[in-house]
Structures are given as structure tokens and as C-alpha cells.
């Protein structure tokens, strides 16, 4: 037997017992006559003592051990004279009688402690060392618990966990596919699933009734800050359900997960239509931890001689409480420049300050009298000390820009409180989105999403402009400004699905070649069905009040999509390429 206890187990009750512990050397302290070693495993840390008086040779050996050596120590549990109240095992220590070095270790490249000096690249290259750190281990343990609770809740509700294949044909979810060449079918490729969407729908046609899977999905996107090329979803589908049934079921799951992992009781989730979210927050995933809602000013601010506002489709702003005296002219200038960066692209930023002394000051004071500005303030419900920040321009763009400003002000004002959870359902998404650049419609959610019942007829017979106004039974679960989940009621009728492919610019042949199996399945008694998928990595992060999903993935990729530990992607041997009939001619060879 390697060990009798873990490094977090021993208490005063164990005093006098002979025990064996295994673990890594976290730290050692040498006081001449005495040497102390902190021995660490996943569970905690226990102090080992070596006394020169008792065993000189053993003590000498202990002194020579380095950080991260793997040890097995056997000895007597005794009470510590100098207790450590910050540690579960802090009342006791082990008077070591025998010590085995199970494996030595090179000096690690960074300190293995809660706060490490290791930079990102180094930590990823030596991820096995990084993963020894307690906060990182806790993240993985949390993730495991979250998966377990998900399975408990869903299997209680009669969901069946079914594995769907990874080697499939492209499923358009709006990203590029990762492709895998087929050796047995030269020149042909599998695609890795962007999601199990079509399979879970087929499972509904097959009568499984309720499906779920905690599953990897793959999307070959340019990696924005918090994206991973492979990520995990809690993927679900249900038959004979309306949108209401799905929202209830998965609101239930979310509440269960918060309750069982954090002990947090969430109140019923508010719902907001997509249009309302865009109008009030300029985002389809508003952070409701704070207000600062948009207020539109067109009627009050236009036709008073300020041409920028007069020409704008929308004049809209937010009210930053108590910020009037926090922003000097220089600060406002800086904030304006921040808004003008290409990432946001605002043309300018107008402010109105309602100073604590009752005076009003504005960057557009030349164009508007105090009475005008006070009327604006009234609409915002502004108090003395508040500052209005106002943008103008084309509606959609301006709202997006103001969303960024609202979030930034929320951050600066400390309103994004950790531990405060504000979930909501965003519903009634448009079915289709017109893309000016490519001159075609895109599916707002994905091509299998059904229009609302009331819109089916208009979808089948309407003209181009009608299509822009179709609404879908599609919904997103948003928590604290993060999209946690999204789904929809699906089309289960061949004719309607064909019409949708048609609107999305697929020819009959293309639709048949890519989705013939699904269209075919719809001809054999497809039940009405719908579903949702939760971003599992994101859910882990949000529950922990953290912004990065990478911290909850054991082996994440970096921003270039590389795994720097195993050094992938990498070239393959030319024999492998030959077998796959892939010819990687360089430009020179092609000549
Ligand atoms: N497959 C969708 C997605 O990955 C989720 C769903 O509609 O169920 O976003």
C-alpha cells in the first residue's frame, strides 16, 4: 500500500498513529536541527518533520530533496507546537521514520502555487505543472461536478444520453468546418461536427423523445479572445414540445446547477424579446447586473441646429450616475478616443454633465440651451452629479457602439459584481438576417430553426421584404452578459425546410446533397421537436465569476489554435500523405 491517508486528512484524532502519505514536495525549510517539508497532493498539504537528533542520515537526505520530488513518507502523527490555522491539517505534523523518493524532479519552470510567476506560454507548454496548482485543479473538479449534476438532472427528466459521431458531413452552424481526409475514400473528407444538430433531430425522428449529450464541438473560426476551436456543449433535444416547455426545462436545469454547485437559488428568469434587448441595451446578450439603459433622444435633440444629430437615424445615450465630477475634459477626451478606436468605430461622443452645484455643462452647449439639456436629463431621470453620454448615427451601429460604452462604464463604475447572477431569456429572434455584402440571407440561429407558427404562411408565400420580418421560436439563455445557451423549435416538415434552404441560397441539388438524409427523414413521420445547447466551458466560467473559458479546459489551445504542449498541429509523414492521396506541392515545385 502506497498511502494510508491523503495530505488533507490528518487531524488531532490521528495523533499517535503511524501513517504513510504520498505527494509532491511543495516547499522545504531547513532550520539546522530540523527540516520541514510541505507534502502536497490533490487534497491538501501536510507538514513532515525530520529531526537530526533522531535520525541524522534521514534528515540529511530530506535536506537534499528539491521542489516537486515525488515522495512517500511514513511516520508518526504528532501535535504541532506551532499550529497553522489556515490549513486543514495545520494542527498536526508527521515525524518521519522512513522516506522513499518515488521520483525526482527537475526544477520546474515556474512556482507551483496559487499565484504563479509563470507566463501564459510557459504554463501551457508545461500544462502538467500548471495543472498541479490548486486553483486550476479546483476548476477541473468543479467542471466534473457540473457535468455530474447535469447528468443527474437530465436523466431524472428522462433524457437519454446518446453519443453521435465525430466523423460526419458538414453541418452549417455559421463557422468553417475542420475536415478529416478519408484514406479509404481518396479525395473525400469527413467534417468534424460544429454541433450534433442534425443527429439530434434524427434521434427525435427515431422516437428517442428526449436526448442529451455532453459533447465536443469543433469550429474552425478565427480565434477571438475567448473562443476555442474545440469546446464542449450540453446538447439537448425534445419531442412534442413548445418553446415554453423548453424554457421551463432548461431554466430548471440552470437553477439546479446553481443550487447544487454554488448553493445559489436563482429567481425565475425574466424574458426579453430580441428587439427589446437591442433597443434597451444594444445587445442580444445584455448584462443585467446593472441598469444604465439606453434612452433615445431623437424628438428632443433633432431640429435644433446641431447637424450631426439632425442627420442621424438615432440619437441615444446612457446616464452614468454620479460620474459628472469624475470626468475632467481630459478624461472625456480619452473616453472619446477609446470609442473612436476601429474596434468600436464611434465618430464622436457627446456629454452632458449635471453638476452637483446645479450647473449644466455639455460638449454641445453651443447648440442647446440649458432648458433643452435639462429636458434630456429629465428623460433619463438624471440627478445632480450624473453625466449623460450620447451617441448618434445609423441605428444598428450606434446601438452596438453604445453597448460597448455601457459595458465599459459598468466596468469602470464597479457594477459588474462577481457573485451577482442575472440570467434572462432573450426570445423572438428574427429567423433570417440579410447580409448586404454577400447579398443573401443567413440563418440567424441555424437553417433548421422554425419560423413562428403565425409566420409560416408568410414564409412560404411572401416576398423578399417579408422574409426580413419573419420571427423564429429561437431563444438564448444569457447570464451576466454571456450567452450561455441557445436553441430553437425546429422545422419538421420537408416543404418548409426546403423553402428555408432555398431562401438561404442553397440550390435544390446542393440542399439534397448536403441534407438529403434529413429531408428524407422528415418524410417518415418527424415529430414536432426543439432543443437547446449550453456552452459548457462558458457555463463553468460564469458560475465561477471568471471571464476566461481556458481556465476550465484541461488542455486548451492558444490564440493561434495551437496546443503548445504536444506541439499541434504538426506536419505528418509523407507516407501518410501518400496514403491519403494528398499532394502538398510547394509553389516552387508547381513552378
Ligand atoms: N446546435 C445549436 C448550437 O450549437 C444549438 C441548438 O439549436 O440546439 O448553437
DSSP for 163-205 reads: ---SSB----SSSPPPEEE-SSSTT-EEE--S-SHHHHHHHHH
102 Cα to the center of ligand 1, angstroms = 48
268-295: per-residue pLDDT in tens?
A: 999 999 999 999 999 999 999 999 999 9
Please tell me the predicted confidence (pLDDT) of residue 197: 96
- Homologous superfamily of the 135-268+535-575 domain (CATH): Bira Bifunctional Protein; Domain 2 (3.30.930.10)
Of 172-181, 314-323, 351-360, 565-574, the range with the lowest mean pLDDT is 172-181
Q: From the centroid of its chain, how far is CA 319?
A: 29
Tell which residue, 523, 473, 475, has the closest CA to residue 498.
523
DSSP β-bridge partners for residue 191: 168, 179
Tell which residue, 290, 243, 293, 248, has the closest CA to residue 268.
248
* Residue 589 pLDDT grade (very low, low, confident, very high; cuts 50, 70, 90): low
> Cis peptide before 201, with omega less than 30 degrees from 0?
no
Distance CA(187)–CA(99), nearest Å, equals 60
Q: Is the pLDDT of residue 585 over 90?
A: no
DSSP β-bridge partners for residue 476: 426, 486
Q: What is the dihedral of CA 312, 318, 322, 323, to 10 degrees?
A: -50
Please tell me the predicted confidence (pLDDT) of residue 227: 87
484 Cα to the center of ligand 1, angstroms = 11
Distance CA(509)–CA(526), nearest Å, equals 22
Class in CATH terms, 290-412: alpha beta
Relative to the CA of 531, which ligand 1 atom is closest? 8
Tell which residue, 588, 574, 543, has the closest CA to residue 254.
543
**Residue among 210, 250, 486, 532 whose CB has most ligand 1 atoms within 8 A, to mutate:** 486
**Grid coordinates in use for 258?**
446553481
Nearest protein CA to atom 1 of ligand 1, as residue: 197
Q: Is the pLDDT of residue 26 over 90?
A: yes
Residues 6+ apart with CB under 8 A from 207: 239, 527
**Grid coordinates in use for 442?**
443567413
229-244: per-residue pLDDT in tens?
A: 999 999 999 999 999 9
**Grid coordinates in use for 462?**
411572401
Q: What are phi and psi of 543, to 5 degrees?
A: -60, -30
Please tell me the predicted confidence (pLDDT) of residue 172: 67
Cβ atoms of residues 562 and 231 within 8 Å: no
195 Cα to the center of ligand 1, angstroms = 7
Class in CATH terms, 12-103: mainly beta
Exposed, middle or buried, 86 (CB in 10 Å: 0-12/13-18/19+)?
Answer: exposed
532 Cα to the center of ligand 1, angstroms = 6
Q: What is the DSSP letter of 212?
A: E
483 Cα to the center of ligand 1, angstroms = 12
Residue at grid coordinates 451617441: 391
439 Cα to the center of ligand 1, angstroms = 25
**Residue among 164, 173, 253 whose CB has most ligand 1 atoms within 8 A, to mutate:** 173
**Residue among 197, 198, 231, 246 whose CB has most ligand 1 atoms within 8 A, to mutate:** 197
Strand pairing class (179-181; 160-161): unpaired
Q: From the centroid of its chain, how far is CA 309?
A: 37
Residue at grid coordinates 431524472: 156
Q: Is the pLDDT of residue 171 over 80?
A: no
Distance CA(234)–CA(460), nearest Å, equals 33
Nearest protein CA to atom 4 of ligand 1, as residue: 195
**Residue among 446, 472, 518 whose CB has most ligand 1 atoms within 8 A, to mutate:** 446
**Grid coordinates in use for 451?**
419560423
The CATH 3.30.1360.30 domain(s) of the chain lie at 290-412
488 Cα to the center of ligand 1, angstroms = 8
Q: What are phi and psi of 456, to 5 degrees?
A: -60, -45
80-116: per-residue pLDDT in tens?
A: 999 999 999 999 999 999 999 999 999 999 999 999 8
Q: What share of the chain has pLDDT > 70, as a percent?
A: 98
310 Cα to the center of ligand 1, angstroms = 42
302 Cα to the center of ligand 1, angstroms = 43
Q: What is the DSSP letter of 81?
A: S
Q: From the centroid of its chain, how far is CA 426?
A: 17
Mapped onto helix, strand or coil, the DSSP state of residue 540 is: helix
Nearest protein CA to atom 7 of ligand 1, as residue: 487
**Grid coordinates in use for 379?**
428623460
> Cis peptide before 569, with omega less than 30 degrees from 0?
yes
Q: Mean of the pLDDT values across residues 391-414?
A: 98
Strand pairing class (423-427; 271-273): parallel
Please, what is the angle between helix 536-543 and helix 134-156, to 10°?
Answer: 120
523-539 per-residue burial string, b: 16 or more CB within 10 A, e: under 16? eeebebbbbbbbbbbbb
Q: What share of the chain has pLDDT > 90, as a percent?
A: 92
564 Cα to the center of ligand 1, angstroms = 30
* Residue 213 pLDDT grade (very low, low, confident, very high; cuts 50, 70, 90): very high
Cβ atoms of residues 110 and 88 within 8 Å: no
Nearest protein CA to atom 8 of ligand 1, as residue: 532
Distance CA(23)–CA(31), nearest Å, equals 22
Exposed, middle or buried, 98 (CB in 10 Å: 0-12/13-18/19+)?
Answer: exposed
Exposed, middle or buried, 170 (CB in 10 Å: 0-12/13-18/19+)?
Answer: middle
**Residue among 210, 216, 429, 487 whose CB has most ligand 1 atoms within 8 A, to mutate:** 487
417 Cα to the center of ligand 1, angstroms = 29
How wide is the angle at C-alpha 310 spanned by C-alphas 362 and 355, nearest 5°? 15
**Grid coordinates in use for 121?**
506560454
**Grid coordinates in use for 459?**
414564409
Nearest protein CA to atom 3 of ligand 1, as residue: 533
Please tell me the predicted confidence (pLDDT) of residue 117: 87
**Residue among 472, 484, 489, 533 whose CB has most ligand 1 atoms within 8 A, to mutate:** 533
237 Cα to the center of ligand 1, angstroms = 10
Of 158-167, 383-392, 575-584, the range with the lowest mean pLDDT is 575-584
Relative to the CA of 236, which ligand 1 atom is closest? 8
409 Cα to the center of ligand 1, angstroms = 32
234 Cα to the center of ligand 1, angstroms = 10
Longest distance between any two alpha carbons in the chain, whole Å: 95
Relative to the CA of 449, which ligand 1 atom is closest? 7
Ligand 1 pocket, CB under 6 A = 173, 195, 197, 446, 486-488, 531-533
487 Cα to the center of ligand 1, angstroms = 5
* Residue 588 pLDDT grade (very low, low, confident, very high; cuts 50, 70, 90): low
Q: Mean of the pLDDT values across residues 540-561?
A: 94
CB atoms under 10 Å from CB of 129, counted, come to 20
454 Cα to the center of ligand 1, angstroms = 23
Tell which residue, 294, 281, 272, 214, has the closest CA to residue 476.
272
Tell which residue, 470, 474, 472, has the closest CA to residue 488.
474
**Residue among 475, 531, 536, 538 whose CB has most ligand 1 atoms within 8 A, to mutate:** 531
Relative to the CA of 200, which ligand 1 atom is closest? 8
Q: Is the pLDDT of residue 418 over 90?
A: no
The CA-to-CA distance between both ends of the chain, in Å, stands at 66
Cβ atoms of residues 297 and 379 within 8 Å: yes
216 Cα to the center of ligand 1, angstroms = 13
Relative to the CA of 235, which ligand 1 atom is closest? 8
**Residue among 235, 431, 449, 450 whose CB has most ligand 1 atoms within 8 A, to mutate:** 235
Q: Mean of the pLDDT values across residues 145-161?
A: 98
Please tell me the predicted confidence (pLDDT) of residue 170: 75
Please tell me the predicted confidence (pLDDT) of residue 586: 65
Q: Is the pLDDT of residue 420 over 60?
A: yes
455-468: per-residue pLDDT in tens?
A: 999 999 999 999 99
Relative to the CA of 448, which ligand 1 atom is closest? 7
Q: Is the pLDDT of residue 590 over 70?
A: no
Residue 438 or 20, more confident: 20
Average pLDDT, the chain: 95
The CATH 3.30.930.10 domain(s) of the chain lie at 135-268+535-575
504-550: per-residue pLDDT in tens?
A: 999 999 999 999 999 999 999 999 999 999 999 999 999 999 989 99
Mapped onto helix, strand or coil, the DSSP state of residue 130 is: helix
Relative to the CA of 490, which ligand 1 atom is closest? 7
Amino acid at each position: 500500500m502506497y498511502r494510508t491517508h491523503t495530505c488533507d486528512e490528518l487531524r488531532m484524532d490521528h495523533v499517535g498513529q503511524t501513517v504513510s502519505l504520498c505527494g509532491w514536495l511543495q516547499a522545504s525549510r531547513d532550520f539546522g536541527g530540523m527540516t520541514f517539508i510541505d507534502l502536497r497532493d490533490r487534497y491538501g498539504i501536510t507538514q513532515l518533520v525530520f529531526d537530526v537528533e533522531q535520525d541524522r542520515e534521514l534528515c540529511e537526505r530530506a535536506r537534499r530533496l528539491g521542489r516537486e520530488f515525488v515522495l512517500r513518507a511514513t511516520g508518526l502523527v504528532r501535535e504541532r507546537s506551532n499550529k497553522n490555522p489556515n490549513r486543514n491539517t495545520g494542527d498536526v505534523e508527521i515525524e518521519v521514520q522512513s522516506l522513499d523518493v518515488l521520483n525526482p524532479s527537475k526544477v520546474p519552470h515556474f512556482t507551483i502555487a496559487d499565484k504563479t510567476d509563470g507566463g501564459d506560454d510557459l504554463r501551457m507548454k508545461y500544462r502538467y505543472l500548471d495543472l498541479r496548482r490548486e486553483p486550476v485543479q479546483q476548476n477541473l473538479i468543479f467542471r466534473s461536478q457540473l457535468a455530474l449534476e447535469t447528468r443527474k438532472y437530465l436523466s431524472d427528466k428522462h433524457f437519454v444520453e446518446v453519443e453521435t459521431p465525430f466523423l460526419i458531413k458538414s453541418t452549417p452552424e455559421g463557422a468553417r468546418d475542420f475536415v478529416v481526409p478519408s484514406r479509404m475514400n481518396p479525395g473525400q473528407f469527413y467534417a468534424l461536427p460544429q454541433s450534433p444538430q442534425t443527429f439530434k433531430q434524427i434521434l427525435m425522428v427515431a422516437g428517442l423523445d428526449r436526448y442529451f449529450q455532453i459533447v465536443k464541438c469543433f469550429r474552425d473560426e478565427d480565434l477571438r479572445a475567448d473562443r476555442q476551436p474545440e469546446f464542449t456543449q450540453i446538447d439537448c433535444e425534445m419531442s412534442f414540445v413548445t418553446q415554453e416547455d423548453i424554457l421551463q426545462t432548461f431554466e430548471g436545469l440552470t437553477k439546479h446547477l446553481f443550487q447544487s454547485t454554488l448553493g445559489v437559488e436563482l429567481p425565475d428568469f425574466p424574458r426579453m424579446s430580441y428587439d427589446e434587448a437591442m433597443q434597451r441595451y444594444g445587445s442580444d446578450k445584455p448584462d443585467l447586473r446593472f441598469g444604465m439603459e439606453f434612452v433615445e433622444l431623437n424628438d428632443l435633440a433633432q431640429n435644433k441646429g446641431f447637424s450631426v444629430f439632425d442627420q442621424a437615424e438615432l440619437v441615444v445615450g446612457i446616464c452614468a450616475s454620479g460620474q459628472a465630477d469624475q470626468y475632467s475634459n481630459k478624461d472625456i477626451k480619452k473616453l472619446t478616443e477609446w470609442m473612436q478606436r476601429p474596434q468600436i468605430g464611434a465618430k464622436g461622443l457627446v456629454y452632458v454633465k449635471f453638476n452637483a452645484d446645479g450647473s449644466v455643462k455639455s460638449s454641445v452647449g453651443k447648440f442647446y440651451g440649458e432648458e433643452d439639456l435639462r429636458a434630456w436629463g429629465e428623460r433619463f431621470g438624471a440627478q445632480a452629479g450624473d453625466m449623460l453620454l450620447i451617441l448618434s448615427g445609423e441605428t444598428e451601429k450606434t446601438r452596438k457602439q453604445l453597448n460597448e460604452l455601457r459595458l465599459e462604464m459598468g466596468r469602470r463604475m464597479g457594477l459588474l459584481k462577481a457573485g451577482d447572477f442575472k440570467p434572462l431569456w432573450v426570445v423572438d429572434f428574427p429567423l433570417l438576417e440579410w447580409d448586404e455584402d454577400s447579398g443573401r440571407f443567413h440563418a440567424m440561429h441555424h437553417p433548421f430553426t422554425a419560423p413562428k407558427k403565425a409566420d409560416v404562411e408568410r414564409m412560404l408565400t411572401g416576398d423578399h421584404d417579408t422574409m426580413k420580418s419573419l420571427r423564429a421560436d429561437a431563444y438564448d439563455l444569457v447570464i451576466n452578459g454571456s450567452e450561455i445557451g441557445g436553441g430553437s423549435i425546429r422545422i419538421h416538415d420537408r416543404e418548409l425546410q426546403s423553402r428555408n434552404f432555398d431562401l438561404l441560397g442553397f440550390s435544390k441539388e446542393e440542399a439534397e446533397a448536403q441534407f438529403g438524409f434529413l429531408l428524407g427523414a422528415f418524410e417518415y413521420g418527424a415529430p414536432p421537436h426543439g432543443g437547446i445547447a449550453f456552452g459548457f466551458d462558458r457555463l463553468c466560467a460564469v458560475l465561477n465569476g471568471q471571464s476566461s473559458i481556458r481556465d476550465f479546459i484541461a488542455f486548451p489551445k492558444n490564440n493561434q489554435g495551437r496546443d503548445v504542449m504536444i506541439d499541434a498541429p504538426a506536419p505528418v509523414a509523407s507516407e501518410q500523405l501518400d496514403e491519403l492521396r494528398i499532394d502538398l506541392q510547394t509553389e516552387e515545385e508547381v513552378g
